[in-house]
């Protein structure tokens, strides 16, 4: 019997971040994985980041997590998405060398102090008097710990399906955890059954790229991590092609053989990542769908067919792929498949990701009903942090909706729940102008430093950047440009209209045509690093919008600061609607703000709660409490 302080079950993206955080914060940690070859496995798309997901990676990095650094090292193409739109939705996306990403992270966890990595099948969660005490492996070995983090991904009773093929397995045919589900249910956990899927992998040597459109990375170097030392990157292209009516006809003729349509699959699938069968049925009027051919790595011939997730028989998948331009002679190396798995209903969790009824039990990642590597990693990091803080007798680190996308993600899960695999999107973040990818370090690095995850090296880089921004903003506000002949000529050369009166450089920079680089060159200002100049421009050009959103946050915080005690019996508040009383009693929100986001709790119900809190306050004051 071995004793630990934290045990993490599962070594995917959630488990890795959780284990590293706990170990780096000084706690003896066990990372249990079904296979040492599964550590940070990327079983689906060979990419990190993307719309909203890029923000999550930047936030993980700012707090002292690992994903951004590893993704930068494994990156074989980097692009900044949504550049035709505002800064609020700009997101980095990296094509990753999948085998290399796994190798990088495996090396990191194996060499982390305070962290043991073991290949184990965990069969039982051990709970005594509503307190987790450890886990039991299939070997009969017992590992004790006062904190256990479930990061089981899609392995809980994982079942792979395509065509007539069905077998119990995790992603890529790995072992499925068949016994842990029963143990979790016996402990009182409510589980759901979800489904996801993946497309075929095909041999790049059998593709005709001349019939496809190349998709290149950005020429200027970019990294996820704010402390990345990478200064050069050889990039490889992806390729764009399209399905056609012949493709669609083959799929339609075989729908009865698809697990998605013949009633074989019982799990709920992701709305925003549908199978090709679902696309053909839901968008019957479309005569084509785009596909991206993405290399799985530099040292493999496997190519991922993005947009072609399928649970049709292998021979049908090959048949319809060969109707696509450039894929006429393709050879399939792995068939696409659907996978069903068990996961927790996240409404059972607190905002700290600790279970409401079982002390010391945390859960993170796809085991909470989310989809995506980035969503998993963000939750894993927070679970590792909060398990550590629980051990230290400290209050948990809770990120609000105005703090980061991680805060939005967790609040959505524990407040609203989810009835399908949850995917983060920019539209879910109401304060997205404040939660930009470019300012994640300014928002969160100090928090990471305060809890002990941010290293001296990272903190020094952060404070240098922060001080440069502050100094530049101050100087721009003080330096006045007068409308003399020389200055007018400079302003006209920048494509802007001439001055009518003297203004500051900050006011001049608000003009759309003027960048900091142009301004610095014309008026002999300090040359700033590009990331600093970008921040200065954004803060000045968007100042009014940012101020407006900060006011919205301040108003919302008044609701968040009105706390609801654990002991409230909502069924006894007669003025509440029956639905509101039931849901409030079940979910026990911590604040009026959280209560207002629960589906079925109306503004009128929130008003009733506000009056109730005021009455309780007055009663307490009356009794001298």
The model scores a pTM over 0.85: yes
Question: Residues 395-425: pLDDT tens digits?
Answer: 999 999 999 999 999 999 999 999 999 999 9
- Using CA atoms, how far apart are residues 525 and 166, in angstroms rounded to an integer? 66
Quote the CA–CA distance of 601 and 72 in Å, as a whole number: 43
pLDDT of residue 46: 96
Poorest-pLDDT segment among 268-272, 301-305, 459-463: 268-272
Give the 3-state DSSP-derived string for 437-468, with helices as H, strands as E and coil as C.
HHHHHHHHHHHHHHHCCCCHHHHHHHHHHHHH
pLDDT band of residue 210 (cuts 50, 70, 90) is: very high
Residue 616 pLDDT? 82
When the pLDDT of each residue in the chain is averaged and rounded to a whole number, the result is 94
Give the β-pairing of 122-128 and 131-137: antiparallel
Of 108, 63, 19, 59, the closest CA to residue 458 belongs to 63
Instruction: Return the half-sphere exposure (C-beta side, CA atoms, 13 A cut-off) of residue 92.
Output: 26
Q: Are 169 and 159 in contact (CB under 8 A)?
A: yes
Runs of H (alpha helix) within 479-499: 485-493
Strand partners, 355: 349
d(CA 134, CA 147): 7
Question: Can you tell me the mean pLDDT for 521-542?
Answer: 94
Residue 146 contacts residue 392 (beta carbons within 8 Å): no
Tokens of 384: 């590792």
Q: For residue 566, name the pLDDT band (cuts at 50, 70, 90).
A: confident
- For the packed helices 98-110 and 67-74, what is the interaxial angle rounded to 10 degrees? 140
Name the percent of the chain lying above pLDDT 70: 98
Instruction: Please name the helix (run of DSSP H) or strand (run of DSSP E) that holds residue 165, with its range, or none.
Output: strand 165-168
Strands 213-215 and 201-203: unpaired
User: In angstroms, rounded to a whole number, what is the distance separating the alpha carbons of residues 625 and 622?
Assistant: 8
Strand partners, 215: 238
Closest C-alpha to 138, from 193, 77, 180? 180
CA atoms 180, 182, 187, 192: torsion sign? positive
122-128: strand order across its sheet: 2-3, 142-144, 131-137, 122-128
| Residue carrying the six token digits 């039990």 | 361
Contact 122, 134 (CB under 8 A): no
Whether 18 contacts 65, CB under 8 Å: no
Tell whether the torsion through CA atoms of 280, 282, 288 and 289 is positive or negative: negative
Q: Across-strand partners of 614? A: none
Contact call for residues 107 and 70 (beta carbons, < 8 A): no
Residue bearing tokens 């009865």: 256
Q: What confidence category does residue 30 fall into, taking pLDDT thresholds of 50, 70 and 90?
A: very high
State yes or no: pLDDT of 8 exceeds 90. Answer: yes
Environment class of residue 139 by beta-carbon count within 10 Å: exposed (0-12), middle (13-18) or buried (19+)? exposed
Nearest one of 323, 340, 303 to 159, comparing CA atoms: 340
pLDDT at 267: 65
Residue 544: predicted pLDDT: 94
Q: Where are the beta strands (DSSP E) in 364-441?
A: none
Residue found under tokens 């407040």: 415
Distance CA 241, CA 292 (A): 6
Residue whose tokens read 């959780």: 18
Within 502-542, residue ranges assigned H as helices are 505-509, 516-523, 530-541
Place of tokens 């085998």: 99
Q: Mind listing the pLDDT tens digit for each residue in 309-344?
A: 999 999 999 999 999 999 999 999 999 999 999 999
Question: Taking Cα atoms as reference points, which of 150, 37, 152, 55 lies closest to residue 101?
Answer: 37
Q: Which tokens belong to 303? A: 């190519």
Per-residue confidence (pLDDT) for residue 621, from 0 to 100: 58
- Long-range (24+ apart) CB contacts under 8 A made by 538-541 are 538/87, 538/436, 538/438, 538/439, 539/469, 539/473, 540/473, 540/476, 540/506, 540/509, 540/510, 541/509, 541/510, 541/512
3-state helix, strand, coil in the chain (%, to 5): 40, 20, 40
- Summarize the confidence of residues 76-103 as an average pLDDT: 95
Supply the pLDDT for residue 624: 47
| Coil vs helix vs strand at 332 | strand
Task: pLDDT band for 258, please (50, 70, 90 cuts).
Answer: confident
CA atoms within 13 A of residue 463's CA, in its CB half-sphere? 9
Give the 3-state DSSP-derived string for 538-578, with helices as H, strands as E and coil as C: HHHHCHHHHHHHHHHHHHHHHHHCCECCCCCCHHHCCCCCH
Tell me the two tokens of residue 141.
């070995």
- Report the DSSP pairing between strands 6-9 and 29-33: parallel
Burial class (CB in 10 A: 0-12, 13-18, 19+), 267: buried
- Biggest distance spanned by C-alpha atoms of the chain: 86
Q: Band of the pLDDT at 273, cuts 50, 70, 90?
A: confident
Estimate the crossing angle of helix 456-478 against helix 530-541, to 10 degrees: 50
The residues that bridge with 504 in the sheet, in sequence order, are 480
Query: Tokens standing for 473?
Result: 């903003």
Q: Residue 259 has what pLDDT?
A: 80
25 SS3 class: coil
pLDDT at 608 over 50: yes
112: how many CB neighbours lie within 10 A of its CB?
19
DSSP letter (8 states) at residue 44: S
d(CA 157, CA 159): 6
- pLDDT per residue as tens digits for the range 486-503: 999 999 999 999 999 999
More confident residue, 191 or 625: 191
CB distance 175 to 169 below 8 Å = yes
Mean pLDDT of 188-198: 94
pLDDT at 146 over 90: yes
Q: What is the pLDDT of residue 625?
A: 44
For 62-131, the three-class secondary structure string (H helix, E strand, C coil) is HCCCCHHHHHHHHEEEEEEECCCCCHHHCEEEEEECHHHHHHHHHHHHHCCCCEEEEECCEEEEEEECCE
């Amino acid at each position: 019997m071995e004793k630990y302080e934290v045990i993490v079950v599962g070594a995917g993206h959630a488990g890795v971040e959780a284990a590293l955080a706990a170990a780096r914060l000084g706690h003896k940690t066990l990372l249990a994985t079904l296979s040492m070859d599964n550590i940070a496995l990327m079983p689906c798309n060979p990419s990190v980041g993307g719309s909203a997901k890029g923000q999550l990676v930047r936030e993980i990095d700012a707090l002292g997590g690992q994903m951004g650094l590893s993704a930068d090292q494994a990156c074989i193409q980097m692009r900044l998405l949504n550049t035709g739109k505002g800064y609020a939705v700009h997101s980095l996306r990296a094509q990753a060398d999948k085998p290399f990403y796994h190798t990088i992270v495996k090396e990191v966890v194996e060499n982390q102090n305070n962290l043991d990595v073991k290949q184990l099948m965990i069969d039982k969660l051990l709970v005594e008097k509503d307190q987790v005490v450890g886990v039991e492996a299939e070997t009969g070995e017992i590992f004790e710990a006062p904190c256990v983090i479930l990061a089981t991904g899609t392995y809980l009773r994982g079942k792979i399906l395509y065509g007539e093929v069905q077998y119990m397995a995790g992603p890529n045919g790995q072992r499925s955890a068949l016994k842990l589900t029963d143990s979790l249910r016996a402990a009182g956990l409510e589980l759901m059954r979800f489904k996801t899927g993946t497309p075929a992998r095909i041999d790049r040597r059998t593709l005709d790229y001349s019939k496809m459109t190349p998709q290149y990375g950005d020429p200027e170097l970019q990294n996820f991590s704010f402390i990345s030392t990478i200064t050069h990157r050889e990039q490889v292209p992806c390729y764009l092609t399209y399905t056609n009516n012949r493709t669609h006809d083959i799929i339609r003729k075989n729908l009865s053989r698809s697990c998605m349509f013949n009633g074989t699959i019982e799990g709920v699938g992701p709305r925003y990542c549908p199978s090709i069968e679902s696309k053909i049925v839901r968008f019957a009027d479309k005569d084509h769908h785009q596909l991206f051919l993405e290399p799985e790595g530099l040292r493999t011939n496997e190519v991922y067919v993005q947009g072609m997730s399928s649970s049709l028989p292998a021979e049908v998948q090959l048949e319809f792929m060969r109707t696509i331009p450039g894929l006429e002679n393709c050879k399939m190396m792995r068939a696409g498949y659907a996978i069903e798995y068990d996961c927790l209903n996240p409404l059972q969790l607190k905002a700290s990701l600790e279970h409401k009824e079982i002390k010391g039990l945390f859960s993170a990642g796809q085991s909470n009903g989310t989809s995506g590597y980035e969503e998993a990693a963000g939750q894993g990091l927070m679970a590792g942090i909060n398990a550590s803080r629980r051990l230290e007798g400290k209050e948990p680190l809770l990120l609000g909706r105005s703090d980061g996308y991680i805060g939005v993600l967790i609040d959505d899960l524990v407040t609203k729940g989810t009835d399908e695999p949850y995917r983060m999107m920019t539209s879910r973040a109401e304060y997205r102008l404040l939660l930009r990818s470019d300012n994640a370090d300014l928002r969160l690095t100090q928090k990471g430093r305060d809890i002990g995850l941010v290293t001296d090296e990272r903190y020094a880089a952060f404070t240098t950047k922060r001080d440069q921004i502050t100094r530049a903003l101050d100087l721009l506000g003080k330096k006045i440009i007068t409308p003399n002949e020389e200055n007018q000529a400079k302003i006209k050369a920048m494509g802007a209209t001439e001055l009518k009166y003297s203004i500051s450089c900050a006011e001049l920079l608000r003009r759309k045509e003027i960048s900091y680089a142009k301004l610095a060159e014309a008026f002999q200002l300090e040359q700033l690093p590009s990331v600093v100049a970008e921040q200065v421009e954004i803060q000045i050009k968007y100042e009014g919008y940012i101020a407006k959103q900060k006011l919205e946050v301040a108003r919302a915080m008044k609701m968040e600061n009105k706390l609801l005690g654990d002991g409230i019996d909502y069924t006894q508040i007669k003025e509440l609607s029956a639905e509101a009383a039931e849901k409030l009693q079940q979910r026990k929100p911590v604040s009026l703000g959280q209560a207002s986001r629960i589906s079925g709790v109306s503004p009128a119900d929130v008003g009733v709660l506000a009056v109730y809190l005021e009455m309780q306050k007055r009663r307490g004051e009356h009794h001298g409490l």
